[in-house]
Amino acid sequence: APHGPELTYRQLNCDDPETEQVAQVAVDYINSHLLQGYKHTLNQIDKVKVWPRRPFGEIFELEIDTLETTCHVLDPTPVANCTVRQLVEHAVEGDCDFRVLKQDGQFSVTFAKCDSSPDSAEDVRKVCPDCPLLAPFNHSRVVHAVEAALAAFNAQSNGTYFQLVEVSRAQFVPLPVSTRVEFAVAATDCVAKEVTDPAKCNPLAEKQYGFCKATVTEKVGQEDVAVTCTLFQTQPVVPQPQPDGTDVVVPTSAPVDPAASVSPPASPPAASLVVGPMV
């Protein structure tokens, strides 16, 4: 490397519009690369340094805090329209380090590392002593609640059988004693009324995802299952360009960016279909 003046960074205000622009690029990157859980939104910019980059451009070194929203990553709703998960619901924060290259006015993420963690039980208790806390997904009560809710949903379905994609949230409610769960589902090639072995059902090539919220309440000798599912618009099978110029139709890949893979504006609006509640 040629001798020259040492590279020094430029200090930018964390609330500077340019910093906020870069932070938004970072948050969009997070949400388009999340494979499970909920979309995140920007809460605070912790640090920013701007390094000159040879031969051209600048590297923004950024530390940001995010908060979980109530929109599942499979939900095509833009994150700007999603509600932030409140403290009383047991909030989850993200702590992220980013490096973003700005060159010719264009931003590109060159490094990203995020950790997410739920608020502490003590902090939740401070603002709400009786609020339910997050529960582990592998707890027998959670597993049972999800199975019962999915079975109830499919039992009411006159069409497609939906299979579980992931459990995304679970809480134990003290009074009445109940288990609250949230989970994602996907349409399969099976008919709900005819399924004998769910393991033989396969997700459709034209993916249709849904998001369910359920409460399973324990009663003496029985239980009540209340489940509400929102089905999202199908994600079309898109043609993939091939090296020889032909297009081959393949299923859209795993839910990397559901918002980007919904139909173009000329199609009907991406309205979600709300199904339920069913008890």
Partner 1 sequence: PVVQPGVAGAAGPVVPPCPGRIRYFKV
- Please give the residue ranges that form the binding site for partner 1 (CB under 8 A): 11-15, 19, 41-48, 65, 67, 84, 87, 91-93, 119, 123
CB of 119 to partner 1, least distance (A): 5
CB contact at 8 A, 235 and 270 = no
CB of 123 to partner 1, least distance (A): 7
CB of 24 to partner 1, least distance (A): 12
| Angle value at C-alpha 259, between 257 and 265, nearest 5 degrees | 140
Residue 138 is given by DSSP the state: T
3-state secondary structure of 149: helix
* Closer residue to partner 1 in complex, CB, 11/36: 11
Whether residue 255 has a cis bond before it, omega within 30° of 0: no
3-state secondary structure of 177: coil
* Closer residue to partner 1 in complex, CB, 12/226: 12
- Please identify which residue in the block is written with the tokens 């002593």: 129
CB environment 196-224: b (16+ within 10 A), e (fewer): eeeeebebbeebbbbbbbbbbbeeeeeee
CB contact at 8 A, 222 and 185 = no
CB of 197 to partner 1, least distance (A): 44
**CA–CA dist 194, 54 (Å, integer):** 63
CB of 80 to partner 1, least distance (A): 12
* Closer residue to partner 1 in complex, CB, 62/227: 62
* Closer residue to partner 1 in complex, CB, 67/145: 67
* Closer residue to partner 1 in complex, CB, 90/102: 90
